[in-house]
A and B are shown apart, each in its own frame.
Chain A
């Protein structure tokens, strides 16, 4: 027996055996390693005394209480607590004699903490069932009241909580010493249940070992003191760590038994020796995996791995610790040259553990974690590519895994890992402020990710199923499509991204079976075409895919992508000079004033209906990272300018029209808003510029119009955002000239008898050809009542503009025509024979009523006449 134990024994003997008295004497000596507070063991000591009996009773209840606490069953805790109170009353006598037992105070403190914690956690409280919530409230009140009686003790305890632990440990140690070896196995599981102190995995390992050691001690009784002291010191050092880490779950105990089996497999002597040898170097920072002498082979590592991993996903598992453990295992495996199979397997698990680190899907990884993750994924890929004989796939079953010999078979899908990594990346970008350096730092990783995806694609191309290839292709596409390929601008470089997109997308079109991937690939393809001004290809692809009809049935992210694509298509057609198409493509996005939301570039404040927090969370998760955004001001400006180019001539042409329809509601809205202003200063914002330009165009003043649309301010705000701003500006200028000419002709044609083509060409600084063709088009479309006089190069107005009387006559004739038409329609509807038979009687009644009314009215008129 160790001296320490002996001492405690003697102590207890002298003071009628109790632990409390031990505490002050030898607090530091007690080993946490022995902290198996064991109730079962106590049952064996029933014989001792009345005090023990009572205390034991208390302990049993406490044990139950802790179990319930673990599962947060408030009602059960409440009833247990009441029982505890009663039991304590029973033990009153003993307590009076001995003082309040520490473990009792301890459970009170724990319970108090626990209740407070639960109380604080509002979300958790909300999720509780009604019963539980009620239980919690009652418990809280009762406990408060109850604890008042023990205030002193609690304060004392709080000041020095560890003592209590050691006390228990001490006691356990005592038990340990007195128990037989055979009992160990029983004690291990129970230890778990009762263990209230936070305990880490490695902690467990170590204590395990120590525990084994202590069992060994029984056989050899010479130098026991050394180890005991060491263990205590060792654990004290780790104390602070332990407080941080969370509690281990119950499941741990299974693992421990596994571990124990393993240890038992190894010869006892080795085990025992390991510990004693380890003694001279007391500070061991890294968690120990294996006994020193154990042969580290595949089997052992695998076992260890399974052991570590099985804790995954448990509530109380310390994730950080788990990662560290896995890393350690990896180094062990590598130093022992266990081959690539094991290395890959462990890496898979490390990456998975890193991904597990955050339990909340809304939050993102810490940057250190992320970097670690990147490096591990890269390493994993390195290994996989350098060992082509490894089959790593999710289709490999656990049983058929082969980690030892060369045709390795490993369960694990690197594609899924990379997909997950990609997701995390987006999350990280979403979490940082788009204008901070942090964002830029993160964005630098995009390159790495792209490289990883590229390499993975190369790796998968010759071994994966088409489905998987489609998936990785789509990932590559999604990392490519929104990037403007600047090699194109240099012109001498072969345009890579276009061909790349073409190849990848076509593969997906042909091979994909899920339809979702295909849709996304098509949209990305169109987007990429549009981004590089390949308007016709983009348009044809959009029309051929018939996506407009079906997009409403797809999932939200795909719809967002569709919106983005349409916007890009609109911008592209604008750059290429098809303003009408640009307007049509953008009108849906722009009309609601919700472009920001539709493009997932930010949340709008909604006045009418508040979002629920969950909805907001979901929407936030959908937001695109900043570097993929489309400039909203550019979008609006393009839309307004193309609307202006269509709407102003149209308005001029249909000024007299009674029933004029609007081409663009949004544009009209902007105009109206501007008109409402009492004072209009020089334009400042983009919108004001466009409005001013529209006003100028209305009078046919193309130069003013141009100057409002294209100037320094607008250049920096909008036009310079295009890849070839000069081309766009030229295009806009010529469009403005043409449309101003049209507007001018519509507005002032009634004033002229004839107009010279030359003058017009000069006025609008257009070529005569263009003027001629523009006017011809108007004549052919019967927009302009005129004809050309070829020999003199003049436009001759036909003076068909009707006078006021004439136009009224025309309107009247039109209305009369409508009247007749309406009558015809009505008779047509009522002609059905069915109607006659059914509605006859009703109608007759109505008829009679009408007649009566009629008579009455007539009477009245007669009266009035009199």
Chain B
């Protein structure tokens, strides 16, 4: 199933630290060689300060070798640096521990106001923000995400939005929140970041495209874990032209996640699907995987056998995808429903056996499933058990009904019209009287 694995494609748009969960997931699935995975991990760790983790990995990879000296040395450096930074920020952290400050921080919305306050009360200096920022970054590098998030929060409040490192702060905060799995705050940070990017303070279009691409990838973490994520992902990826363009030009593989989100989203599926199909068709030459092909089969070619085939493939793809594994059940159920719905719209009479085969179920299961659908009034159909058929209710509208439909509200509308006219006439009369008075 490695051919549909997107980790390598996604990795280049993610932060080092964000790739770890993906790698962990992959090593559990055992898609790749364990050794290769560990090597990759070590490579990944080489540029971070998570030396202990790196040592562990190294031990795993080469059980018979000692930990290389370079790592040990690095550890020493990191610890030293940490201590120094700690010393530098000691003063600042003390300030922020003051309950008065915390209260002030929560009440004041403006960064300048707050820094004025801090300046007056605690001798806070502008350089301190930078120190704090560096410390947070170091914490993040070391894998202490909660600390990083906390400090970055302060930094973000204190920094003016036009500062050079303001954007970096936001990115750092988002990454920390994602890694701590605080989805609610992560979503908040995500929206904040999106606002800043959309305000377009970058010089070139290329840069903002890049930023958007990153945001699209990072947001996957949030969207597939936050309860409201499936709605939000559709809004952002499909209906915000800029993001859709970014996906189309740079990373069409995101379509997989978008498609999954659409299919599993019961409430909005119907209206959204048409737009999605258009996008999928447009990009079909650059990106294809079983999930998009499933949609294509179902809504472009009406090839139900093909759709069925693809659905089976989808299953294995979903299982091996870090983001989608959670919605596997949901997806299969909804996909089936989609097939069935489309099928019913086209057909008048379907044999249950065939349906069962199409839906990848046993005939009994299928019958039960259909019965449930009928009972929940989601389907206007009857089962002919002698022949083993499902017979759909009549769909067509007779001309009589059509005429009724068209003329039904005419009376009401005319009445409204008449009333408004009457009102106007009254007004006019009044005015006329007024005029008469003048004359």
Query: With contacts A798-B396, A820-B410, A827-B417 known, is A790 near B402, CB below 8 A?
Result: no
Stretch at the interface among A181-189, A406-414, A770-778: A770-778
Once bound together, how far apart are the Cα atoms of A776 and B341, in whole Å? 13
Q: CB-defined interface of A800-827 with B at 8 Å, one 1/0 digit per residue? A: 1011001101100110110010011001
Report the bound CA distance from A49 to B301 in whole Å.
114
Asked if B303 and A809 sit within 8 Å, CB to CB, the answer is no
Is there a chain A Cβ closer than 8 Å to B334's Cβ?
no
Cβ contact within 8 Å between B392 and A787: yes
Q: Is the CB of A809 within 8 A of B399?
A: yes
Count, chain A residues at interface, CB 8 A: 36
B71: CB under 8 A from chain A? no
Return chain A residues, CB-CB under 8 Å to B350. 790-791
Of chain A, the residue at the smallest CB distance from B249 is A544
Are the CB atoms of B345 and A810 closer together than 8 Å? no
- Is A823 in contact with B417, judged by CB distance below 8 angstroms? yes
A789 CB within 8 Å of chain B: yes
Interface membership of chain B positions 394-437, coded 1 if the CB is closer than 8 angstroms to chain A and 0 otherwise:
11111110110011001001100100110010011001000000
B348 touches A788 (CB 8 A): yes
A836 vs B429: C-alpha distance when bound (angstroms): 12
- A791–B407 touching, CB < 8 Å: no
B328 to chain A, nearest CB (A): 28
**Do B349 and A817 touch across chains, with their CB atoms under 8 A apart?**
no
B199 contacts chain A at the CB level, 8 A cutoff: no
Check: B346 CB closer than 8 A to any chain A CB. Answer: yes
Nearest CB in chain B: distance from A585 CB, A: 16
Q: Inside 8 A of B348's CB, which chain A residues have their CB?
A: 787-789, 796
| B342 proximity list for chain A (CB < 8 A) | 780
**Contact, CB under 8 Å: B301 / A773:** yes
Whether, in the assembled complex, B360 has its beta carbon less than 8 Å from a beta carbon of chain A, the answer is no
B7 at the interface (CB under 8 A from A): no
* CB-defined contacts of B347 to chain A, threshold 8 Å: 787-790
Q: In the complex, what residue of chain A is closest to B414 when comparing beta carbons?
A: A820
* Contact, CB under 8 Å: A817 / B410: yes
B51: min CB distance to chain A, Å? 41
Cα(A585)–Cα(B424), bound, Å: 53
Q: Is B351 an interface residue (CB 8 A)?
A: yes
Q: How far is the CA of A688 from the CA of B249 in the complex (A)?
A: 44
Complex Cα gap A536–B248 (Å):
12
- Least Cβ–Cβ distance between B44 and chain A, in angstroms: 31
Minimum distance in angstroms from B164 CB to a CB of chain A: 25
Least Cβ distance of A823 to chain B in Å? 6
Asked whether any CB of chain A lies closer than 8 Å to the CB of B354, the reply is yes
With the chains together, A219 CA to B402 CA distance in Å? 124
- Bound: A827/B394 CA distance, A: 41
Does A10 have its Cβ within 8 Å of any Cβ on chain B? no
How long is the Cα–Cα vector from A802 to B428 in the complex, in angstroms?
Answer: 48
From B302, B395, B413, B428, give the contact of A773 (CB < 8 A). Answer: B302
A802 to B403, CA, bound (A): 12
User: A779 near B: Cβ within 8 Å?
Assistant: yes
Instruction: Provide the residues of chain B in CB contact with A814, threshold 8 Å.
Output: 406
Inter-chain CA distance A719–B414, complex, in Å, is 61
Residues of chain B within 8 A (CB-CB) of A806 are: 399-400
Contact of B396 among A769, A785, A792, A831 (CB under 8 A): A785
Alpha-carbon gap, A246 to B213, bound state (A): 71
Q: Flag if B249 contacts A820 (CB, 8 Å).
A: no
**B312 CB-CB contact with A under 8 Å:** no
- Residues on B with C-beta less than 8 A from A773 are 301-303
Mark interface residues in B29-53 (1 if CB within 8 Å of A CB, else 0): 0000000000000000000000000
In whole angstroms, what is the CA distance A807 to B421 when docked?
33
Contact A779 B428 (CB under 8 A): no
Q: How far is the CA of A787 from the CA of B420 in the complex (A)?
A: 46
Tell me, yes or no, whether A358 is within 8 Å of chain B by CB.
no
Q: Assess whether A15 is interfacial by the CB under 8 Å rule.
A: no
The CA-CA distance from A820 to B392 in the complex, in Å, is 37
Q: Is the CB of A791 within 8 A of B406?
A: no
Q: Is B417 within 8 A of A802, CB to CB? A: no
Once the chains are docked, how many angstroms separate the CA of A777 from the CA of B403?
A: 27
Which residues of B are found within 8 Å of A792, using beta-carbon distances? 349
In angstroms, how far is the closest chain B Cβ from the Cβ of A806? 4
Q: Could you write out 5 A-B pairs with CB less than 8 Å apart?
A: A544-B249, A789-B348, A798-B395, A813-B407, A824-B413
Besides A810-B406, A820-B414, 13 other CB < 8 A contacts? A536-B286, A544-B249, A787-B348, A787-B395, A790-B351, A792-B349, A798-B396, A800-B398, A809-B403, A813-B406, A824-B417, A827-B417, A827-B420
Please provide the 4 A-B residue pairs with the shortest distance between their CB atoms, ordered closest to farther: A776-B302, A806-B399, A787-B348, A798-B396
